[in-house]
Amino acid sequence: MKSLNVGIIGYQFMGKAHSNAWLQAPKFFDMNVKPVLKVACGRRAEPLQAFADNWGWEEIETDWKKVVARDDIDIIDIAVPQHLHYEIALAAAKAGKHIFLEKPMAMTLEQARKMAAAANESGVTHYLNHNYRRCPAVRLARKLIDDGKIGDIYHWRGAYLQDWITDPDFPLTWHLQADKAGSGPHGDLNSHSVDLARYLVGDIAKVTAMTTRFIDERPLPDANAATFKGGSSGAGMGKVTVEDASFMTVMFENGALGSFEASRFATGRKNYNFFEIYGSKGSLIFNLERMNELQYFSKDDPDYAQGFRTILATEPVHDYIANWWPPGHVIGYEHEFVHAVVDFMDAIDSGKSISPDFNDGVKEMEILDAALESAASGRTVTL
């Protein structure tokens, strides 16, 4: 079997999710090309070495530029905060490396455009990791839409709600600093919802948005603070420079009307990535916290038996499932990342593109930026 060497940059939340995916993919799926966990990169050698030992990365490196410059690295996996995506992706594209990039794509639309141009020009395979597209129940939603079971789509109702920063003592991690995160839940969570909406409903023509902030100052973080992980340095307070919630309404190009809610202040909601789609022939409901299930309403059912049915998307006919467990033996969050790795390696092997790629990322950034422009001006922005 052919193999390609991976260099991963970032070793916390996404570093673990990706490492697991690179390891699991060839164990469960037939792959023409196998990933080799070659080098892991982060800023601090000690915790990085512990990470590398745990996941089987062969080497460590504390300077990402050296990883990108290595001739023996074929794939750069970018699992760091978004203020670093542009520089690393651009360098990787120029060095001819295939790129597996975390979302949101970039800090600005302009950066995203340059990243896409560089990746397209160099001919590498580029992937933007909106992992939820590779959840079997979401794939089933797409199949029902493609098969005409939902009919003309009238409404998208999306929400991505969490509550991990409701405590005012939660520290000022990078997610709350505009120079590192770009925006708050708007870029972090709405980017996923916009990707799902584009995948299931289509492109967006107009957007109107409102954002707000509930807590203006937070304790400065210690070195271990990361996504969902507190820890204050005791060195005082710092200013929150991103929004805490972002709500937007959109008109799709096909005439459907949509709404998106993104917040980290939805007390009790942990990772409530939710959507409803209403069409002329039927409707769909998905909630990541019940990710093996899809709710489906069909107007074709006899009138005495109409109602939402819950489909457990764990049959071999459902995408990816035949490679896992027998029916009803549910899968989890991490499996979406495995599916992404399988499709990414297949795209490299076949020379075909994979969705979403950097070109999708540009379209997504256009929508996200237009929403922020709308929130600032109070006006609807036409794309």
User: CA angle at residue 133 from 130 to 137, to 5 degrees?
Assistant: 145
Which one of the spans 4-12, 29-37, 252-260, 275-283 is the region binding ligand NAD (CB under 6 A)?
4-12
204/226 with CB nearer ligand NAD: 226
CA distance 176 to 40: 26
Which one of the spans 3-11, 107-115, 193-201, 234-242 is the region binding ligand NAD (CB under 6 A)?
3-11
- Report, in Å, the least distance between residue 192 CB and ligand NAD: 7
Q: Residue 3 in contact with residue 75, Cβ under 8 Å?
A: no
49/249 with CB nearer ligand NAD: 49
189/381 with CB nearer ligand NAD: 189
CA distance 198 to 52: 36
Residues within window 221-260 making contact with ligand NAD, judged by CB under 6 A: 226-227
Binding-site size for ligand NAD (CB under 6 A) equals 23
2/43 with CB nearer ligand NAD: 43
CA distance 85 to 103: 9
Q: Residue 120 in contact with residue 358, Cβ under 8 Å?
A: yes
- If one counts every other C-beta atom within 10 angstroms of the C-beta of residue 270, the result is 12
Signed CA dihedral, 141, 16, 194, 269: sign only: positive
Q: Residue 193 in contact with residue 275, Cβ under 8 Å?
A: yes
C-alpha 294 chain-centroid distance? 20
Residue of the chain from 129, 183, 193, 283 that contacts ligand NAD (CB under 6 A): 129
Q: Backbone dihedral region of 362: left (phi > 0), alpha (psi from -120 to 50 degrees) or beta?
A: alpha
Q: Residue 173 in contact with residue 223, Cβ under 8 Å?
A: no
Q: Residue 288 in contact with residue 272, Cβ under 8 Å?
A: yes
Residues within window 65-104 making contact with ligand NAD, judged by CB under 6 A: 79-82, 84, 102-103
Residue 41 contacts ligand NAD per CB under 6 A = yes
Residue 294 contacts ligand NAD per CB under 6 A = no
- Report, in Å, the least distance between residue 305 CB and ligand NAD: 37
Residues within window 152-211 making contact with ligand NAD, judged by CB under 6 A: 188
Residue 15 contacts ligand NAD per CB under 6 A = yes
Residue 14 contacts ligand NAD per CB under 6 A = yes
Residue 138 contacts ligand NAD per CB under 6 A = no
Instruction: Give the nearest residue (CB) to ligand NAD.
Output: 12
Helix (H) or strand (E) holding 92: helix 85-94
21/371 with CB nearer ligand NAD: 21
Residues forming contacts to ligand NAD in the complex (CB under 6 A) are 9-15, 41-43, 64, 79-82, 84, 102-103, 129, 131, 188, 226-227
